[in-house]
Chains A and B, each alone.
Chain A
């Protein structure tokens, strides 16, 4: 072998190695995320935001952002499962802070305390949102992005005597139904049962995560919810799974709607009681608000009591075993930029967790100012069930069964459900 040949071979090897390194460093910016947003065929502003984010990320960083859509009601379980079963995990995942205890128990998520506390957006974060991402042992397990809360939408014409979210105000509705909102499943628990029960004074979990469902306040609140159905004040569709109950507010056959700060994203097109039709996209509710046909108020509550708004924080988390944690952190830093975070929150329908994002123009509309007031004044974190998903859905099922069987005793049913849930929790602990 001549020197030249050796030399050119060396060059070739180095070249290939350099190429390889180049690929590797490009891969550092290539990450996979799990979200509940459908960027493949966008259906609403959340999905469109996701698609735009992917395009931006790929253009700006030269990496590849791959989004895997997971159904909204299984995304937290899917992540737990992927860790437990040793399946393929993403680099970053959307999570709901309600599921944090289960993530903590299963050690699903990477401890991000160091990363978060040293980030340049740390001082700008809402303390309440950060608390929602903090595990019992003080470790920060997720980066909070959005705070969402519940409230009421109502058709102004449906309530000639005015509407303030109190139970008495409901009775004045001139529409076929006074109210519509979801009762079934975990989601029904969050937007409807929990806020109403809490406004009656009931608490549903103790500090150890066990269920406390037999308080007289809770029974009283469920009695009232049951009476709504007996009186035909709420469409029975609200007891079914899914989201078909929304139609009764869209066509104004129901006067008020148990909403989340995000509801305007999905609730369209809406038509006011006087027949005015609003656009068939996420501008439907905002334009109805602007026209004065639609109003919003604090969550449904016992007349004379303080309303309770269910607060849920969502955020980005890095699973234990994530293939590319550095890339994941770089992505989170990139996405936590205050403008990007503000865009995310606006597209999602919640308040951004950074003060600088919240101060931006887009959150100075009457809607967002009102939402921020309701969340600040009445916001209450969810009950600390040890297994939140199981507790919330069991409670919702129990209440729906009570509504369907008006002769069944409320206290007995609650007690039985509570004992069974607590027995299962005790076995998990």
Chain B
């Protein structure tokens, strides 16, 4: 008798749980719906439309299908290929400097000495400035004859740093890193604060150099954050447009014309949106390839962890 009652009770709970799980199986749908609708309409649809554009050419009467002509033209275009190479240079330096400076600042602030918090605030100020403002001011500081930094750096780098192809690239990289470091510092600092203080302390005792200590003990613990920051920084670097436009407009000549600036030039500079769409498809593919490479690293990490 008692066993029977227990069983019915169990059965009814099972039904309840089943119902509940049916409900909760639908819950994620309702929760996700608003965000997904917004993204579908304002991000996914325009992106698909861009792919459509990349296969056409434009006329007032409408779009004429031209197949892969736009891509063919692009890949045969030395100017575009060179801009891709410049994207790699820009992105490489940008990622390297943003990550290492961000890490350095985070490590220093994380020593939890007095007053270090204020440095974080100061470093965040460039992040609050807009690309347009920042770019113009960097440009001005490097202006020959009238620019302050140009004047100060003349003994080291000579005149017209801003007009030298590598100098211009350097300025653009520095200006972008200057704006981006704050964010990577705070990401790293967040990760470092989860590292127990004892580990940091004991790591400093074993007599190994600071550098070794960092790589052996601390780095493995913040590695997930490191990879996330790497991913975000990499995507941002490939898509950087505003700051380069405001600082050099891709110049002098084509010295700082990254693929994103090339994209701007083709679309909003010359009004060729169909070819521009093809450029953006190529850029998207580059981002995906880079991201997949990073994701592979993350997956390898979690396999190792488990």
Same complex: yes
CB atoms of B255 and A84 under 8 A apart: no
Binding site secondary structure of chain A:
helix
Residues of B within 8 A of A387 (CB): 270, 272
Are A404 and B253 neighbours in the complex by a CB distance under 8 Å? Answer: yes
Residues of B within 8 A of A403 (CB): 253
Q: Chain A contacts of B252 at CB under 8 A?
A: 184, 239-241, 400, 404
Q: Is the beta-carbon distance between A427 and B69 smaller than 8 angstroms?
A: yes
Nearest chain A residue, comparing its CB with the CB of B70: A427
Interface hit among A28-36, A75-83, A118-126: A75-83
Residues of A within 8 A of B78 (CB): 416, 420
Assuming the contacts A74-B269, A106-B60, A237-B163, asked whether A400 and B69 have C-beta atoms less than 8 A apart, the reply is no
Q: Number of residues in A with C-beta < 8 Å to the partner?
A: 46
* Residue B239 CB within 8 A of the other chain: no
Q: Mark B141-174, 1 if CB is under 8 A from A, else 0.
A: 0011110000000000001101111000000000
Smallest CB separation, B22 vs chain A (Å): 46
A57 CB, min distance to chain B CBs, angstroms = 30
Contact A420 B251 (CB under 8 A): no
Q: Is the CB of B145 within 8 A of A420?
A: no
Bound complex: CA A88 to CA B218 (Å): 57
Given known pairs A236-B163, A240-B162, A420-B79, the reply for A84 and B269 (CB within 8 Å) is no
We find that the number of chain B residues with CB closer than 8 angstroms to chain A is 41
From B255, which residue of chain A is reached at the shortest CB distance?
A404
Q: List A residues 37-86 near B (Cβ within 8 Å).
A: 73-74, 77, 80-81, 83-85
- Cβ-defined contact, A320 with B143, below 8 A: no
Residue from A74, A80, A237 in contact with B144 in the complex, judged by beta carbons closer than 8 Å: A237
Chain A residues lying within 8 Å of B79, measured Cβ to Cβ, are 394, 397, 417, 420
Across the interface, which residues of B come within 8 angstroms of A237, CB to CB?
143-145, 160, 162-163
- Taking the closest CB of chain A, its distance from the CB of B262, in whole angstroms, is 11
Interface residues of B in 66-87 (CB under 8 A from A): 66, 69-70, 73, 76-79
Query: Which residue of chain A lies nearest to B77 when distances are taken between CB atoms in the complex?
Result: A420
Tell me the nearest residue of chain B to A251, going by C-beta: B145
Q: B236: CB under 8 A from chain A?
A: no
Interchain CA distance A80-B252 in the complex, whole Å: 27
Residue pair A397, B253 in contact (C-beta under 8 Å): yes
* B69 touching A393, Cβ below 8 Å: no
| Contact A397:B254 (CB < 8 A) given known A237-B144, A424-B73, A427-B73 | yes
Complex CA gap A209/B21 in Å reads 69
Can you name 9 A-B pairs with beta carbons within 8 Å? Answer: A107-B59, A107-B61, A237-B145, A247-B146, A403-B253, A416-B78, A417-B79, A420-B79, A427-B57
Known: A73-B269, A420-B78, A420-B79. 8 other contacts (CB 8 A): A184-B249, A184-B253, A236-B144, A236-B159, A237-B162, A241-B250, A247-B146, A423-B77
